[in-house]
Amino acid sequence: MNTKVLHTVEFDKIIDLLTEKADSEPGKKLCRELLPMNSLADIERAQRQTADAAACIFRKGSISFGSNRDFSFTFGALSIGSSLTAPELLHLSSFLNNVQRAQSYGLSEAPNQLPPIVPAASPEDEEGEDSLFDLFDTLCPLPHISSEIRRCIISEEEIADDASSELRRIRRAIGQTNDKVHAQLSKMVNSTHTNYLQDAVITMRGNRYCIPVKTEYKSQVPGIVHDQSGSGSTLFIEPTAVVELNNTLRELLLQEKKEEERILAEISAQAAAHIFELEANARTMTQLDFIFAKASLAMDMNATRPIMNDRHYIHIRCGRHPLIDPKKVVPIEFSIGDTYDMIIITGPNTGGKTVTLKTAGLFELMGMSGLHIPAADRSELSLFRDIFADIGDEQSIEQSLSTFSSHMTSIVDILRRVDRDCLCLFDELGAGTDPAEGAALAISILNFLHVRKIRTMATTHYTELKVYALRTDGIENASCEFNVDTLQPTYRLIMGIPGKSNAFAISKKLGLPGYIIETAREQLSQETQNFEDLLAELEENRKQAQKEKEEAEAVRLRIQRDEKALRDREKQLDEKRDKIIQKANEQAREILEDAKKKADEAISDMRKLGKTGDMKSMEHTRSALREQISSKNKKLQKKKAPAPKGKLKASDLHVGDKVRINSMGLTGYITSLPDRSGKVGVRCGIMNSKADLTDLSLIHEDAFGNTTQGKASSSYSLKKAFSQKGSSAGSSQVNISRSSGISAELNLLGMTTVDAIQELDKYLDDCRLSHLSSVRIVHGKGTGALRNAVQNYLRKQKWIKSYRAGDFGEGDAGVTIVELND
């Protein structure tokens, strides 16, 4: 990759932005050294790492690598056995703590275990894996080294007393000796030698304790003179009484220093034993810092991962130049390399032509460097061997080159080095010289590139190049839109339509007399005028088509909103229907439980009355029970619908219509039309019946498509059941006392829990009527589900005296013995 293009398309400014995102100096160094790669696999790997790092930041927040630094000198010292200083060891501890945090951050959502050998995965399979997992997993925090450093070293200037027992002993002795020296000197300063002293203070000279003595009293204070004041009136004397103590203190300080050096050497040796892990940590942390800097830059730019290919195909969707204010930049869309390999962009000055070229070149360099691009997803970039750009004014006074000469020098160099694997960007090709000759040269250069299928984008004002693009297959015109009314460019790139310079329109808007403009127009050839008129007509048609497209899009969005509202409404109705059904089921269950309770009480009463033979009381109990059930039915029945205005006719009914039998309060469906006697076949639940045509009301389906009549029907069935029980119970005393016909054992083997409980419930009712006091329920062992269901049922029945598992010889856990109340 030639380095000139990096500056031409301002890739170096992107590198500056990337460098600011890195936390550590080694990471910043990697950012500054970033260049486009020439391997599609390497590019895909870098893009994947950037995407995974951005996903980590989005899910878990940012991570800092600031404790990473250039440890080359530190690791070099450890490798040769040298001791590190306290500050160097503290930096190393901080780095290891950062490694620990980074590993915890990276592996927090990773699987607990990975197989020891992972087979090579296809690109499709690799998309589901985290490309950063291995980097985080290879980090080695060495917590014992970090904690040992923190235990022994308090700050850059202080070693902890607990670093070793010897250091603690030495420092304790230093403290005691200091106390003795201060006590002796304080006695001399405050009492015995007060008159001889210049000041009543204790001072240090040459790391030894002294007192300031007046020169004339030198003989009165025996000791060693260490210093003299500037005026000569004061001598700093170490009294003889503390010389030995100072000597002892000096020796202890030397021992302290030696012990501190031994401690630092010991910790350094521990770190040196893990030099390879430390060096690997530094490399990995630097790499992670670099990757997360790319991800942070991508998130700031609202960038996406481009699809990379090696087909020399570029497709940019809503691309935004990353160096322009996001609030002002206008997205552009274009593609090259599919149906055409060259784009010629025309339009007025300051309309965005050059920005489009730089955006294309910059996106390519960013994508090939593993950076995401500020464009919509599914944008595509290609791998190119090199990118050449001739953009801007390269006039050189030192080399005596004019604008045209400098451009032509650059173009000559490009044509000599370019091939099919390159991308070329030309700004104002052929400008700076005679327009006719410049246009001819530009066409010849573009044709040279077009014949060789070299991907090329060029900007121009020449009409000849617009015509060349229209007449040549594989070359596409494009233009930068300009608003003539406001005299401002819109910066929108329009593919397929050549642009106008709009010189006449702009001049007229600015106040140039019309006759001058008409005279200028006469200077144009008829062919040129026709071409410009054609461009104007195309532009007008394009605007009209764009307007219609926007209107159609607005209609489509409105339809989508309406459809969503309908779906939401339907969902609400479904939820409401489910709640109604659930409530109805709950009420039905309560009715059944209440009916069961009443039936149990009635059976118990009838058993008692059966012994006394009081048939009148039994009939009274049965009647009271039927009245309670009828009362329940009346409460549950829906109010009768208002009678229809017109009489229901046979022609109004169809098989399958939903109707209500008014006299019974039941709802059903027509199964057969009225016969000669006016009887209509109606199916209510599982019951088929005949109802009179005049007793029917036609029901129209509601919003849910059904009605909730289950509760009344259930109550009706219960009423019928209880009536039958009451009738049979009141028929004769012989039917109540039928113990001879009821077995004392119930076999539930092979049944489901639901069927078994139903059978058990019926059996126990019969047992109670038959005055059995003890029965045997056979349910088997198996999984224990049937046994648990039976015992759970028995536990809830108040009229069960007791129950237990069978003993040895009774069937063990495969049976349950039930004792019934009298």
Residues linked to residue 727 through DSSP beta bridges, in sequence order:
none
pLDDT, the chain, mean: 81
- Residues contacting residue 656 through CB under 8 Å, at least 6 positions apart: 669, 670
The answer to whether 652 touches 644, Cβ cutoff 8 Å, is no
Using the predicted structure, report yes or no on whether residue 738 has a pLDDT greater than 70.
no
Average pLDDT estimate for 212-240: 84
The closest of 339, 297, 332 to 316, measured between CA atoms, is: 332
Average pLDDT estimate for 63-84: 91
pLDDT score, position 712:
36
Q: Quickly state the pLDDT bin for 266 (edges 50, 70, 90).
A: very high
* Percent of the chain whose predicted confidence (pLDDT) is above 90: 35
CB neighbours of residue 572 within 10 Å:
10
- Residues contacting residue 751 through CB under 8 Å, at least 6 positions apart: 759, 786
Q: What is the total residue count of the chain?
A: 822
Query: In which residue are the tokens 């990118």 written?
Result: 387
Q: Measuring CA to CA, how many Å separate 176 from each of 169, 205, 605, 812?
A: 11, 20, 100, 84
Q: What is the pLDDT of residues 604-633, one digit of tens each?
A: 766 665 555 555 666 666 566 666 655 655
Instruction: Say which amino acid occupies 79.
Output: S
628 vs 442, more confident = 442
Q: Quickly state the pLDDT bin for 645 (edges 50, 70, 90).
A: very low
Q: What is the pLDDT of residues 82-91, one digit of tens each?
A: 999 999 999 9
pLDDT score, position 119:
34
Q: Quickly state the pLDDT bin for 327 (edges 50, 70, 90).
A: confident
pLDDT score, position 453:
93
Q: What is the pLDDT of residues 15-43, one digit of tens each?
A: 999 999 999 999 999 999 999 999 999 99
Average pLDDT estimate for 193-202: 79
Average pLDDT estimate for 279-304: 95
Least confident segment among 82-96, 216-230, 504-518: 504-518
Using the predicted structure, report yes or no on whether residue 642 has a pLDDT greater than 60.
no
Q: Quickly state the pLDDT bin for 123 (edges 50, 70, 90).
A: very low
Average pLDDT estimate for 767-771: 78
CB neighbours of residue 603 within 10 Å:
19
CB neighbours of residue 798 within 10 Å:
10
The closest of 318, 317, 353 to 480, measured between CA atoms, is: 353
pLDDT score, position 381:
96
Q: Quickly state the pLDDT bin for 397 (edges 50, 70, 90).
A: very low
pLDDT score, position 578:
84
Q: Does the pTM of the predicted model rise above 0.85?
A: no
- The Cα 675–Cα 698 span in angstroms is 18
Average pLDDT estimate for 129-150: 91
Average pLDDT estimate for 345-360: 85
Using the predicted structure, report yes or no on whether residue 419 has a pLDDT greater than 60.
yes
pLDDT score, position 715:
35
Least confident segment among 116-120, 491-495, 644-648, 669-673: 116-120
319, with CB counted inside 10 A (0-12, 13-18, 19+), is buried
Least confident segment among 70-79, 328-337, 342-351, 695-704: 695-704
Tokens of 554: 């607005």
What does the radius of gyration of the chain's CA atoms come to, in whole angstroms?
50
pLDDT score, position 113:
40
- The Cα 164–Cα 701 span in angstroms is 90
pLDDT score, position 704:
36
Q: Quickly state the pLDDT bin for 498 (edges 50, 70, 90).
A: confident
Using the predicted structure, report yes or no on whether residue 721 has a pLDDT greater than 90.
no
Please work out, in degrees rounded to the nearest 5, the angle formed at the alpha carbon of residue 17 by the alpha carbons of 14 and 22.
125
460 vs 796, more confident = 460
220 vs 223, more confident = 223
Using the predicted structure, report yes or no on whether residue 152 has a pLDDT greater than 90.
yes
pLDDT score, position 617:
65
Q: How far apart, in Å, do the first and last CA atoms of the chain sit? A: 103
Average pLDDT estimate for 261-267: 94
543, with CB counted inside 10 A (0-12, 13-18, 19+), is exposed
Using the predicted structure, report yes or no on whether residue 496 has a pLDDT greater than 60.
yes
The answer to whether 768 touches 789, Cβ cutoff 8 Å, is no
435 vs 728, more confident = 435
526 vs 288, more confident = 288
Q: Quickly state the pLDDT bin for 702 (edges 50, 70, 90).
A: very low
Q: What is the pLDDT of residues 156-172, one digit of tens each?
A: 889 999 999 999 999 99
E strands, 559-611, are none
pLDDT score, position 291:
96
Q: Which long-range contacts (CB under 8 A, 24 or more apart) does 593-601 make?
A: 594/632, 595/629, 595/632, 595/715, 595/718, 595/722, 598/625, 598/628, 598/629, 598/722, 599/625, 599/722, 599/725, 599/765, 600/797, 600/798, 600/799
